[in-house]
């Protein structure tokens, strides 16, 4: 079941950029692409836990700032020959505000 | 999968968790995944890894994790019992049982011996001393890496492939390395004397001492090795000695079990030993009197052995002539077949002394039987194919030495075109032709780099790069050649130069405009081209271009260096390396107030505060600003430090005020963005305590003025500066500096430091435009000054003032 949380105005997330959130001891990154799409991933690169929110956003991908893995924002999977998966959360734009579905977080925590 | 394997399956036991053994297991699983319950006994305490790539691990180019072939999960998924870190000590062929050092007894139906070989340790006095090792497995590499951290001198005994790769790795780790080789020339089993000489020159240039024709007599030392003594009495200091003098097949178990052995464990065409239930593969074997020492023939053995183990007993192992390449970054060589000629052979030789290229092809009855390529081995794959085909060269003979480029059309890739999809192209990562062709077609790949990231082909030792390029050419036809220019990145085919010229000539002023006009393939570029374009635009349109922080790497966006744990480091500017009690006090207060875990004096004469939380950055800067300090740009492709020495103000040798000169230079240049980082230094006399001779722009004071030096750097490839000019006044120093930096900003490719840039465009060209053309020099300096009028704003103060506030605080903090 979805668990939507209001995380603030969409305008706070820069285009081709990201913002961090701390929720329940977890770090989440909310991204906005040049086309205005929003995505949310856990802020932990599957390679060595680099902060994806500090990466460069291009197309629907982000390049991790530490060693350059490229992560697809829509699926959370590492691109190219690198293998890895980042926890993905749903985001929704409601009017001017962003909502984040944090159900996946509790599910992941329960594992 | 385990459930499908009933307990009464045949048991396949493998001794040796190395390259041959595990490749054979993989091949068996491919043919019949449920036939055997596989158990592997491995003496090394690891899953299996790519032994070939220990060389790049030693050189610091790869990590151990990157060279693992099969993870634990793979063993589990395939229901393989891995007994790691326990050596087999005896085989009982009658009972079909193997015992291990820890006392385990494992029964088998089929046994596979893959025990590899042992390094040959010279029987000289002192060989047991601590500090002496071989180069065979991970533990050797670990020992070498730890020695490199603590000691300085290393000696490698043996100038063959392994020895030279060890020497290169140790040199890359900062050790002073000598190679002692028994024969007169290096790699005499793969190179003829001419090629060996070029190799020795290249290695010497890298600081490796090559001592040939030298017989090692003893290793000397008390608690640890200290030196190597040669027969002629010479002593070479050594805190570490690596024995790379050859290998011996490891056949102790087989001999004790009564299997037929000669120099290795004897196997037939089906890789079966004299006991029908025991097979052997890899370096422990001997087949028709031949041993193997490279992986290519071992992969063939693995396939044939797997055929036999799964019931296809018609296949037979045939020896091939594997090609050898030295995996030393920057040295391009290949040797294959009868490279040294012999009875009835003819040579075709090409030498290009200035490029350091040497090629020798050996023909017998018009058939290629051997080749040595040095300095340019990109056509190696093609020659290997020709050699394997063993067909008369005919007309090809006239041009064959020039490679496939000059031969009749189609000939270049016919070898590759003829290969079946199952042919393996990349031996390191086991990628076959079909996989590569499919990836090129399905994912629209157009460059070698893209194929590497998508398929891992050519991503390890790189020796198959030319084959992969051949496949690209095959798939893309005429399109491929066009793409061979050094394009900015995979998003475009245009070169850096083309893009910069277009920005200027077509007055392109934003990143989207550049991408649109020049036909970028991707909608938003990538993490490689966007920072480059941002810099090119900034450089072309100072004051006008709106910097795009989203196209900057995090360090330049957050104005601090990201650390491995996601925190940041902060380095305030210390003009010319000079500080005051007030600044130091303010730094100390900031450290206490924000509980900054680490404070370090940097190699650039300033202080680094490490481990600052991103959320604290702005407050830290506010406090530093309040004490008069600004950003040191330690994070930027920008002017970093200007190192100085104490100079005439204090030093008894100082000829001029080098500290003052350094501060003036730093005041003029701080805040400037560049293609890469830029470092300056000023020394007060030729003793050069500020290390000005390895800086992008260096100044050395002499009695009669200032000597100006350009294009040096420390770093990965050390390059000493070139002398530019001697001047007499401070104003001239500043003008030349500004002009030189502006020329670099306007011409170099993004991420190209001054050293490679100077090498690429040539010192003569730079000199003539800076020295002989006064007008040009002054115009460059003026353009630099103009750009600086917009650049010299402290980015920290701007952020303390509220700029980009969102960058530094999280969006929502839950209670
Ligand atoms: C802090 C410091 C080491 C220290 O504790 O002394 C340092 C730290 C880093 N250096 Fe350095 N370098 C430091 C002085 C040097 C020097 C010495 C010097 O400047 O006199 C050199 C050799 C001289 C030279 O550059 O020619 C040096 C050659 C490199 C290189 C190799 C550059 C090359 O052209 O080969 C890199 C890699 C790169 O830039 O791509 C590098 C990269 C780095 C990076 C940025 C690695 C990274 O990308 O994270 C390190 C950042 C650590 C951090 O977050 O603070 N650092 N680095 C020094 C900072 C000086 C300062 O005050 O700003
Ligand atoms: C540093 C280095 C670089 C190289 N570079 C290249 C290259 O560029 N190209 C190339 O083609 N080849 C290269 N080689 C050679 C290549 O690695 C070998 O040919 C290949 O690894 C041989 O495979 P193998 O399985 O026979 O032996 P190994 O890979 O050595 O495997 C044998 C395994 O058996 C284990 N073992 C031995 N005895 C026992 C026992 N009694 N019980 C249990 N386990 C045992 C060993 O611990 C080892 O793990 C290189 C080798 C080295 C060391
Ligand atoms: S500070 Fe420089 S030399 Fe030290 S680990 Fe980092 S990059 Fe390497
Ligand atoms: S942590 Fe992201 S690439 Fe290494």
Is the pLDDT score of B717 beyond 90? Answer: no
If one compares A21 and B377, the residue with the highest pLDDT of the two is: A21
Whichever domain contains A38, its CATH number is: 2.102.10.10
Residues B224 and B291 in one domain: no
Question: Is residue B221 in a domain?
Answer: yes
Question: pLDDT at residue B411 above 50?
Answer: no
Q: Strand locations in B294-419, DSSP E? A: 333-337, 345-352, 357-364, 367-374
- Residue B482: the pLDDT is 40
Terminal CA-to-CA distance of chain B, rounded, Å?
Answer: 47
**Per-residue pLDDT at B465 exceeds 80:** no
Same domain, B198 and B137: yes
Domain total in chain B = 5
Domain endpoint, select from B528, B552, B576: B552
B469: in domain: no
Contact B277, B110 (CB under 8 A): yes
The pLDDT score that the predictor gives to residue B412 is: 41
Per-residue model confidence (pLDDT) at position B2 = 42
Is residue B634 in contact with ligand 1, taking CB distance under 6 Å? yes
B153 and B98 in a common domain: no
Bridge partners of B83, per DSSP, are: B41
User: What was the pLDDT predicted at B370?
Assistant: 92
What is the pLDDT, as a whole number, of residue B7?
59
Q: By the 8 A CB rule, do B275 and B265 touch?
A: no
Inform me whether the pLDDT recorded for B349 exceeds 50. Answer: yes
Instruction: Using the predicted structure, report yes or no on whether residue B741 has a pLDDT greater than 90.
Output: yes
Final residue of a domain: which of B194, B219, B245? B245
Separation in Å, CA of B74 to nearest CA in chain A: 14
Residue B73 counted as domain residue: yes
Residue-averaged pLDDT of chain B: 91
Confidence check on the interface: ipTM exceeds 0.85, yes or no: no
- List CB contacts (< 8 A) between B531 and chain A: 56
**B543 and B619 together in one domain:** no
Average pLDDT over residues B256-272: 96
B372 assigned to some structural domain: no
Which of B64-68, B445-449, B475-479 is predicted with the least confidence, judged by mean pLDDT?
B475-479
Q: Within an 8 Å CB–CB cutoff, is residue B530 touching chain A?
A: yes
CATH code of the domain in which B761 resides? 3.30.413.10
CATH code of the domain containing B147: 3.50.50.60
Is the Cβ of B74 closer than 8 Å to some Cβ of chain A? no
Is residue B664 within 8 Å of B575, Cβ to Cβ?
A: no
Q: Which domain holds residue A17?
A: 4-110
Q: How confident is the model at residue B400 (pLDDT cuts 50, 70, 90)?
A: confident
Task: Tell me how far apart the alpha carbons of residues B649 and B657 are, in angstroms, rounded to a whole number.
Answer: 6
Whether B474 is in a domain gets the answer no
**Helix pair angle (B529-540, B496-505), 10° resolution:** 40
Q: Find the CB nearest B524 among A12, A19, A34.
A: A34
**Six-digit token string for B20:** 């041959």
Least confident stretch, B250-264, B286-300, B397-411: B397-411
Which pLDDT score is estimated for B784? 98
Task: Specify the 3-state DSSP secondary structure of B474.
Answer: helix
CA B217 to chain centre: 35
Within chain A, which residues score under 50 in pLDDT?
none
B680 and B749 in a single domain? The answer is: yes
Q: Closest by alpha carbon to B59, among B178, B182, B153, B164?
A: B164
C-alpha B159/C-alpha B161 separation (Å) is 7
Burial of B146 (0-12, 13-18, 19+ CB in 10 A): exposed
* B663 and B563 housed in the same domain: no
pLDDT at B413: 44
Ligand 2, atom nearest to B282 Cα = 26
Instruction: Check whether residue B786 and residue B691 sit in a common domain.
Output: yes
Q: Give pLDDT, residue B151.
A: 94
Would you say the C-alpha torsion B337, B342, B347, B353 has a positive or negative sign?
Answer: positive
Q: DSSP assignment of A8-56, as one string?
A: EEGGGSPTTEEEEEEETTEEEEEEE-TT--EEEEES--TTT---GGGSE
Question: Which among B691, B708, B718, B704 is positioned nearest to B770, based on CA atoms?
Answer: B708
B25 Cβ below 6 A of ligand 2: no
Nearest CA in chain A to B525: A58
DSSP, collapsed to helix, strand or coil, labels residue B103 as coil
Is the pLDDT at B296 greater than 60? The verdict is yes
Q: Give yes or no for residue B714 CB within 6 A of ligand 1.
A: yes
Beta bridge pairs of residue B739: none
Total domains in chain A come to 1
Where is pLDDT greater, at B473 or A35? Answer: A35
| Residue B378 confidence (pLDDT) | 76
Residue B409, pLDDT score = 38
pLDDT at B441 over 80: yes
Whether B326 shows a pLDDT value over 50: the answer reads yes
Residues B67 and B172 in one domain: no
Is the Cβ of A14 closer than 8 Å to some Cβ of chain B?
A: yes
Domain containing B517: what range? 490-552
pLDDT > 90 fraction of chain B, expressed in percent and rounded = 70
Q: Which pLDDT value is given to residue B369?
A: 92
Predicted confidence band of residue B428 (pLDDT cuts 50, 70, 90) = low
Q: Is residue B66 part of a domain?
A: yes
Lowest mean pLDDT among B3-17, B326-340, B734-748: B3-17
Give me the mean pLDDT over the B517-543 stretch: 93
What whole-number distance in Å separates Cα of residue B121 and Cα of residue B134? Answer: 8
B603 CA distance to ligand 3 middle (Å): 10
In the sheet with A17-23, reading across from the earlier edge strand, the strands are A4-9, A97-101, A88-94, A38-42, A26-32, A17-23
Residue B621 lies in a domain: yes
Whether residue B337 has pLDDT greater than 80: yes
On whether residue B418 sits in a domain, the answer given is: no
């Amino acid at each position: 079941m979805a668990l939507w949380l209001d995380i603030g105005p969409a305008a706070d997330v820069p285009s081709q950029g990201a913002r961090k959130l701390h929720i329940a001891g977890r770090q989440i990154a909310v991204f906005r692409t040049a086309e205005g799409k929003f995505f949310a991933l856990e802020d932990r690169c599957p390679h060595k836990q680099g902060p994806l929110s500090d990466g460069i956003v291009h197309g629907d991908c982000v390049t991790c700032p530490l060693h350059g893995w490229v992560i697809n924002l829509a699926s959370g999977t590492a691109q190219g020959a690198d293998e890895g998966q980042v926890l993905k959360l749903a985001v929704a734009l409601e009017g001017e505000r962003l909502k984040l579905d944090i159900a996946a977080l509790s599910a992941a925590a329960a594992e | 999968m385990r459930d499908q394997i009933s307990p009464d399956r045949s048991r396949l036991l493998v001794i040796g968790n190395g390259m041959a053994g595990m490749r054979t297991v993989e091949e068996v699983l491919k043919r019949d995944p449920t036939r055997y319950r596989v158990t592997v006994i491995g003496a090394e305490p690891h899953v299996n890894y790519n032994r070939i790539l220990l060389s790049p691990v030693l050189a610091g180019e790869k990590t151990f994790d990157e060279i693992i072939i099969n993870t634990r999960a793979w063993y589990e998924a395939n229901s393989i019992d891995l007994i790691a870190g326990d050596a087999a000590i005896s085989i009982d062929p009658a009972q079909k049982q193997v015992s291990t050092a820890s006392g385990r007894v494992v029964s088998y139906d089929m046994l596979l011996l893959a025990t590899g070989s042992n390094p040959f340790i010279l029987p000289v006095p002192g060989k047991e001393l601590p500090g002496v090792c071989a180069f065979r497995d991970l533990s050797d590499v670990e020992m070498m890496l730890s020695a490199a951290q603590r000691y300085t001198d290393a000696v490698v005994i043996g100038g063959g492939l392994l020895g030279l790769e060890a020497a290169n790795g140790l040199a890359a780790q900062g050790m002073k390395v000598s190679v002692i080789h028994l024969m007169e020339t290096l790699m005499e089993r793969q190179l003829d004397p001419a090629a060996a000489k070029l190799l020795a020159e290249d290695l010497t240039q890298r600081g490796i001492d090559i001592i040939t024709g030298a017989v090692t007599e003893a290793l000397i030392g008390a608690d640890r090795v200290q030196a190597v003594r040669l027969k002629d009495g010479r002593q070479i200091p050594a805190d570490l000695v690596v024995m790379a003098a050859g290998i011996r097949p490891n056949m102790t178990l087989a001999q004790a079990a009564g299997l037929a052995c000669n120099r290795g464990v004897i196997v037939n065409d089906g890789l079966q030993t004299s006991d029908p239930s025991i097979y052997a593969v890899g370096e422990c074997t001997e087949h028709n009197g031949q041993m193997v020492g490279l992986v290519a023939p071992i992969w063939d053995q693995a396939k044939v052995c797997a055929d036999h183990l799964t019931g296809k007993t018609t296949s037979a192992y045939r020896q091939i002539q594997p090609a050898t390449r030295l995996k030393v970054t920057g040295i391009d060589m290949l040797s294959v077949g009868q490279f040294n000629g012999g009875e009835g052979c003819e040579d075709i030789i090409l030498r290009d002394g200035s490029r350091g290229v040497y090629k020798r092809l050996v023909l017998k009855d018009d058939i290629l039987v051997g080749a040595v390529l040095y300095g340019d081995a990109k056509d190696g794959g093609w020659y290997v194919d020709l050699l394997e085909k063993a067909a008369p060269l005919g007309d090809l003979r006239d041009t064959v030495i020039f490679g496939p480029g000059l031969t009749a059309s189609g000939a270049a890739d016919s070898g590759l075109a003829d290969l079946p999809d199952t042919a393996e192209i990349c031996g390191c990562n086991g990628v076959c032709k079909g996989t590569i062709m499919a990836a090129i077609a399905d994912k629209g790949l157009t460059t070698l780099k893209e194929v590497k990231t998508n398929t891992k082909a050519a991503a390890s030792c790189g020796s198959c790069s030319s084959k992969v390029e051949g496949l690209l050419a095959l798939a893309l036809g005429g399109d491929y050649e066009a793409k061979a220019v050094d394009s900015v990145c995979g998003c475009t085919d245009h070169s850096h130069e083309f893009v910069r010229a277009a920005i200027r000539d077509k007055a392109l002023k934003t990143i989207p405009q550049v991408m649109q006009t020049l036909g970028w393939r991707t909608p938003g570029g990538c993490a490689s081209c966007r920072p480059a374009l941002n810099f090119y635009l900034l450089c072309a349109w100072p004051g006008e271009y709106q910097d795009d922080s989203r196209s900057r790497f995090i360090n330049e966006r957050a104005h601090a260096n990201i650390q491995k744990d996601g925190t940041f480091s902060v380095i305030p500017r210390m003009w010319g390396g000079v500080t005051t009690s007030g600044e130091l006090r303010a730094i100390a207060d900031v450290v206490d107030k924000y509980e900054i875990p680490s404070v370090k004096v940097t190699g650039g004469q300033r202080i680094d505060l490490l481990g600052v939380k991103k959320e604290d950055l702005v407050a830290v800067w506010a406090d530093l600003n309040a004490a008069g300090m600004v950003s040191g740009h330690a994070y930027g492709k920008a002017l970093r430090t200007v190192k100085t020495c104490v100079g005439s103000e204090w030093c008894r040798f100082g000829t001029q005020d080098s500290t003052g000169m350094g501060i003036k230079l730093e005041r003029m240049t701080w805040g400037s963005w560049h293609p890469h980082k830029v470092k300056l230094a000023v020394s007060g006399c030729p003793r050069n305590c500020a290390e000005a001779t390895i800086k992008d722009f260096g100044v050395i004071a002499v009695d009669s003025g200032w000597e100006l030096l350009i294009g040096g750097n420390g770093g990965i490839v050390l390059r000493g500066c070139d002398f530019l000019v001697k001047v007499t006044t401070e104003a001239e120093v500043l003008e030349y500096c500004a002009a030189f930096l502006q020329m670099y900003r306007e011409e170099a490719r993004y991420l190209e430091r001054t050293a490679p840039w100077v090498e690429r465009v040539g010192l003569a060209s730079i000199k003539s435009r800076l020295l002989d053309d006064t007008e040009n020099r002054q115009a460059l300096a003026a353009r630099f000054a103009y750009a600086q009028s917009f650049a010299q704003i402290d980015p920290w103060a701007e952020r303390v003032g509220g700029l980009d506030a969102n960058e530094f605080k999280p969006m929502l903090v839950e209670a």
